[in-house]
Amino acid sequence: KQEVTQIPAALSVPEGENLVLNCSFTDSAIYNLQWFRQDPGKGLTSLLLIQSSQREQTSGRLNASLDKSSGRSTLYIAASQPGDSATYLCAVNRRGSSNTGKLIFGQGTTLQVKP
């Protein structure tokens, strides 16, 4: 059974700091891993999608890495800003014909960036 864990559950940093969010998964048989951002009471915004054959993806100040063999992914946020404050979720798309459209989510890391 695939389980996804995110540590820490909450993180508070001063503005301008670089930070890393962690995601681990128990089954390496995945198609891809996706990072999302969720603002309070809102839906999810896709940030980065890493295919299982890839090692990392970058978008602006965000960089996500994937180490499938160790079951880990990190989301690196450079020069954090107060507008980055949100909950960050990782989700894996597990291999298998019966798993279409199904993402397995971690519990998320709630980030607060203080001005």
Partner 1 sequence: KAGVTQTPRYLIKTRGQQVTLSCSPISGHRSVSWYQQTPGQGLQFLFEYFSETQRNKGNFPGRFSGRQFSNSRSEMNVSTLELGDSALYLCASSLRGGPTDTQYFGPGTRLTVL
**Site residues for partner 1 per CB under 8 A:** 31-32, 34, 36, 41-46, 49, 51, 89, 91, 93, 95, 98-108
β-bridge partners, 33: 50, 92
Q: In terms of CB distance, is 13 or 49 closer to partner 1?
A: 49
Q: In terms of CB distance, is 26 or 46 closer to partner 1?
A: 46
Q: Which contacts of 46-50 are long-range, i.e. CB under 8 A and separated by 24 or more positions?
A: 47/75, 47/88, 48/75
Least distance in angstroms from the C-beta of 110 to partner 1: 12
Q: How far apart are CA 104 and CA 86, in angstroms?
A: 20
Least distance in angstroms from the C-beta of 95 to partner 1: 7
Q: How far apart are CA 74 and CA 94, in angstroms?
A: 18
Q: Is 71 helix (H, G, I), strand (E, B) or coil?
A: coil
Q: How far apart are CA 54 and CA 43, in angstroms?
A: 27
Q: In terms of CB distance, is 55 or 114 closer to partner 1?
A: 55
Q: In terms of CB distance, is 60 or 101 closer to partner 1?
A: 101
Least distance in angstroms from the C-beta of 34 to partner 1: 7
Least distance in angstroms from the C-beta of 16 to partner 1: 30
